[in-house]
Structure 1
């Protein structure tokens, strides 16, 4: 897998707009080194497929005269790439160099001379001092995914040493210089095309990049690039859209990403910065889809709770309810009326949510009679974490404020319902919200990518994920 994990992230996609990114990715020198290690395995396998055609000819040798010869069945038996390097070229891209490599092969030789005398045997040939230098060119395909190719490739072979087995010793001098030159030349011609093939073989894998990743039945997140990568001596920095959309309907939210910059950390292979814009675009999408609402019934309340969703419990606090709707069960609808607002400060994620709570009495015929509507303002703290290749979270209630919106049962003091509503939020609404948040949403990923040694920091205006990466075979 030659640099597969990184080439997907460093495609030179032309900037399509001046949109600020919602997500930033930084690939460090440590990450490139891991990519180099994977790449050498792939290139080594590709070089083992070198095909050396049979060679035949004739030559006059004194004193026996004309000798016909052939070299056939040549097969690569070993490839060693002891020295290689990947280099970032600021403002340009990636340069790959391989040096001091060697390739060994085995084949058969055969001669015929004096019209009737035949001889044959085998030979081993070591090609030494193989050097390859190439640059990786990248562009975007019609889906916004990267396509890679090898450009400006140069390859050379310094020497080839042949060892023959069988036959008369005088034959060795006949073959040695000829075989070394012919086979070395043939191999040198194939090195760059094979490296190009190794790079091109990545393109099917690069198509697994989750440019648009489904989150659930409501939402998907887009990770298309909004600007070309910035290549420096130490890292490659990428700008991704990082925006949630309703599935099948890309509607922009009434706010835009703000500028943020990743810190100059290089301890991990990869850094991913997720801005508050990304999270707030999720709130916009789910609120627009009507997904941020919940009907609460008495069977959701813990059985041991003395507080029940019925007109007896609420009638003890608001007598008009018990008088007008005696002995009935109740239902509540909690829903947002504005998009939740997420803010990031150092080591702190806070979500402000504004909604309503509508209480109903359930009539014997199952119709709902409205009792009151409360305006609800809540502040919750969020804990965010990485699970697999997804970012997930959990929230807990900080504070809650209630005001009366509409009453269908006469005036009453809203404060008497504080304890009931806090209980409902803590034991019903927030646990169900946390079940959904624990599922998380996908980070930018490729194929069978696994994040290891992952750390998450909450900074001002964004979250920073530092991680190493492994790829399953």
Structure 2
């Protein structure tokens, strides 16, 4: 997978400047920061569990060693807020409990500590979000507590040692934690399968936009078929969705451009995933796809095939399907070429006639976990035009019976199974969108959702 990811990155970087790339805008607001504050307390507590060197001190004329252990770090407060044009400010309060192995019984000292850091959010070299600590300061309380009371003066040298250790290590530990976060943020650009031979990959476009209310990421989607990028015609209009869209209060608002849907449908068409064969079985009681049934509509078929023979409808999409996005309404248009064949006695197929078909579909969109999925139903009548015929004149009106269970039902089953597989939206590993809502606007789709992040250690327990 590493070589595929590297190849995808290289191909994406080599795309022509004028090529249209599907645009996605992701906005994360204060509700997201509050959620990160809640789930971030445990990893911050773990990160601040630093190792404390032994304390050497003179007792009389001899050096004595005191072993020290951080017994517990409790984070009662972790607050994050946006810094416009920069990133995020981190404010944390921590209570450190130390175990001092001194004398016959260990002592436990407690020290309140406050941390304040500014984290800049930029773009990494691989086009994923990058967080870096630009400034950090720790505020240590002057008084250690021993059993809820101020510690005795005899422990002052030890306290000085502990303060020096914390001042030197806490900001470094926070910076290391941020580096771990960057590893997770880097999973945003991983190659994700769309089909057996196709993938999708996301990249940030430039630095994130940070305001006092939200952070916005401009993201391009790259779809690949057999390692080759799917490139649309040039679209000179940038994708700039309105500010107030989606569900108020949701942690994340994701705006998906028309280009994303056009690229996905072009990918499916080029991959041949929308092609299908509809076959008839003579021994099926409810199957009408045979020459006897067709001969009732076309006399020449009945003359050439007096005995029932199974038919085959070969459905091929030469034209790319179209998705139309309007306010509260999404539709799709398919224009397949359908060839009607009969299986002859020598196992060969004979072409009877062919049709140009136009099908308009209602498209319902939903998000499950991190995938955008679709479901279709037919709108109105299926339009049929006879393209060629080897069985004489064909009354087009009579062929409408082909568009019932013989054609529409298999087509919808195939299409809905394909769209039901879904296409992955931008996300990090172990991240889910809950509960997602989908809103359709003129020319774009909005997904609003809260976030659910499950740490890897959580997935291996219970």
Q: Is the 8 A contact 1:24 1:262 kept in 2?
A: no
Please give the alpha-carbon distance, in whole angstroms, between the structure 2 residues aligned to 1:427 and 1:219.
27
Please give the alpha-carbon distance, in whole angstroms, between the structure 1 residues aligned to 2:106 and 2:22.
62
Is it true that 1:379 corresponds to 2:380 in the alignment?
Answer: no
Aligned-CA RMSD value: 2.6
Q: Is the 8 A contact 1:381 1:396 kept in 2?
A: yes
Deviation of 1:266 (Å): 4.1
Residue in structure 2 matched with residue 344 of structure 1 by the alignment: 325
Q: 1:450-465 residue pairs with structure 2 within 5 A?
A: 450-465=432-447
Q: Secondary structure at the match of 1:414?
A: coil
Deviation of 1:35 (Å): 0.8
Is it true that 1:103 corresponds to 2:96 in the alignment?
Answer: yes
Please give the alpha-carbon distance, in whole angstroms, between the structure 2 residues aligned to 1:39 and 1:50.
21
Deviation of 1:147 (Å): 4.5
Residue in structure 2 matched with residue 136 of structure 1 by the alignment: 119
Which of 290, 294, 303 is residue 323 of structure 1 equivalent to? 303
- Going from structure 1 to structure 2, the CA distance change for 1:172 and 1:24 (only over 3 Å counts) comes to closer
Residue in structure 2 matched with residue 90 of structure 1 by the alignment: 84
Please give the alpha-carbon distance, in whole angstroms, between the structure 1 residues aligned to 2:304 and 2:160.
105
- Going from structure 1 to structure 2, the CA distance change for 1:172 and 1:312 (only over 3 Å counts) comes to closer
Deviation of 1:416 (Å): 0.8
Deviation track 1:68-124 (CA, whole Å, cap 9, x = no partner) reads 56351111122222223111111111121224x3212121336xxxxxxxxx66433
Residue in structure 2 matched with residue 61 of structure 1 by the alignment: none
Residue in structure 2 matched with residue 55 of structure 1 by the alignment: 56
Q: Secondary structure at the match of 1:253?
A: coil
Deviation of 1:408 (Å): 1.6
Q: Is the 8 A contact 2:129 2:204 kept in 1?
A: no
- Going from structure 1 to structure 2, the CA distance change for 1:39 and 1:351 (only over 3 Å counts) comes to same
- Identify the range of structure 1 (277-286 vs 317-326) with the bigger mean alpha-carbon deviation: 317-326
Residue in structure 1 matched with residue 291 of structure 2 by the alignment: 311
Residue in structure 2 matched with residue 284 of structure 1 by the alignment: 266
Please give the alpha-carbon distance, in whole angstroms, between the structure 2 residues aligned to 1:407 and 1:51.
87
Q: Is the 8 A contact 1:162 1:179 kept in 2?
A: no
- Going from structure 1 to structure 2, the CA distance change for 1:435 and 1:450 (only over 3 Å counts) comes to same
Q: Is the 8 A contact 2:188 2:202 kept in 1?
A: no
Please give the alpha-carbon distance, in whole angstroms, between the structure 1 residues aligned to 2:357 and 2:439.
31
Please give the alpha-carbon distance, in whole angstroms, between the structure 2 residues aligned to 1:309 and 1:20.
43
- Going from structure 1 to structure 2, the CA distance change for 1:416 and 1:281 (only over 3 Å counts) comes to same
Deviation of 1:411 (Å): 2.1
Please give the alpha-carbon distance, in whole angstroms, between the structure 2 residues aligned to 1:396 and 1:45.
52
Which of 125, 150, 172 is residue 193 of structure 1 equivalent to? 172
Is it true that 1:267 corresponds to 2:249 in the alignment?
Answer: yes
Residue in structure 1 matched with residue 412 of structure 2 by the alignment: 430
Please give the alpha-carbon distance, in whole angstroms, between the structure 2 residues aligned to 1:424 and 1:387.
31
Please give the alpha-carbon distance, in whole angstroms, between the structure 1 residues aligned to 2:320 and 2:188.
30
Q: Is the 8 A contact 1:244 1:278 kept in 2?
A: no
Find the structure with the greater CA-based Rg. Answer: 1
Q: Secondary structure at the match of 2:27?
A: strand
Residue correspondences, number: 431
Unaligned runs of 5+ in 2: 1-15
Please give the alpha-carbon distance, in whole angstroms, between the structure 2 residues aligned to 1:439 and 1:450.
16
Q: TM-score, normalised by structure 2?
A: 0.86
- Going from structure 1 to structure 2, the CA distance change for 1:397 and 1:404 (only over 3 Å counts) comes to same
Residue in structure 1 matched with residue 37 of structure 2 by the alignment: 36
- Going from structure 1 to structure 2, the CA distance change for 1:172 and 1:222 (only over 3 Å counts) comes to closer
Please give the alpha-carbon distance, in whole angstroms, between the structure 2 residues aligned to 1:430 and 1:21.
27
Deviation of 1:143 (Å): 4.0
Please give the alpha-carbon distance, in whole angstroms, between the structure 2 residues aligned to 1:239 and 1:56.
57
- Going from structure 1 to structure 2, the CA distance change for 1:268 and 1:428 (only over 3 Å counts) comes to same
Please give the alpha-carbon distance, in whole angstroms, between the structure 2 residues aligned to 1:200 and 1:139.
13
- Going from structure 1 to structure 2, the CA distance change for 1:277 and 1:356 (only over 3 Å counts) comes to same
